[in-house]
Amino acid sequence: MKKSNFAYSMMAVVLGTALMSGSALAASDTTSSAGSKIDSSMKKVDGYMGDSATTAKVKSALVDDKAIKSTDISVKTDNGVVTLSGFVGSQAEAEQAVAVATKVEGVKSVSDKLHTKDSKTQSVGGYAGDAATTTSVKAKLLADDIVPSRMIKVETTDGVVQLSGTVKDQAQSSRAESVAKTVDGVKSVKNDLKVQP
């Protein structure tokens, strides 16, 4: 009888120890999982803060550069890729802005979406012409059965058409560009379409 009581007592101790170990492991897994989530969140915050700091540095560098007279340059940073958009007075100014941004610490690459705009020659007639050109390009894209026209944004400045948005493949991108080039009043086409299958 004493042996069986002893056996039951030992079994209770072994089971109790196993249960306690299991609880500790489960708590450890939960803590580890929570720790991973916190690490992931911190990396996202660091990435965001890094991009914000990079954007601020690029803006400061553009303001400090005497060759860049335009105050109409927008700067966005995503994972170290800086996008410059807006208007500058000349192509040389646009190239200088890209060169300045490229040298800033934290910049992996620069996407140039700057438009050249000579404020002295840009007139109401020119603006009306650009609006008519944009409308014509949109209409031609809408009539084309290959191009997903609803996914494409069209902007025209001094006869230069900028296409942006997403398409399914390179063929659609090329087709949209060639359709835009056929429209009267289009001097050139800047194809910024992204392929997302």
Residue-wise pLDDT tens for the chain (197 aa)?
A: 555 666 666 666 666 665 555 555 555 555 555 555 555 554 554 555 688 888 889 888 988 888 888 677 888 888 888 888 888 888 888 889 989 999 999 889 888 888 776 544 455 555 567 888 998 999 999 988 888 888 899 998 888 899 999 999 999 999 999 999 998 888 889 999 998 87
- Closest listed residue to residue 146, CA positions, set 164, 181, 171, 183: 171
Token digits of residue 186: 């289009």
pTM: 0.43
Q: In this structure, how many other beta carbons lie within 10 angstroms of the beta carbon of residue 133?
A: 24
Residues in the chain: 197
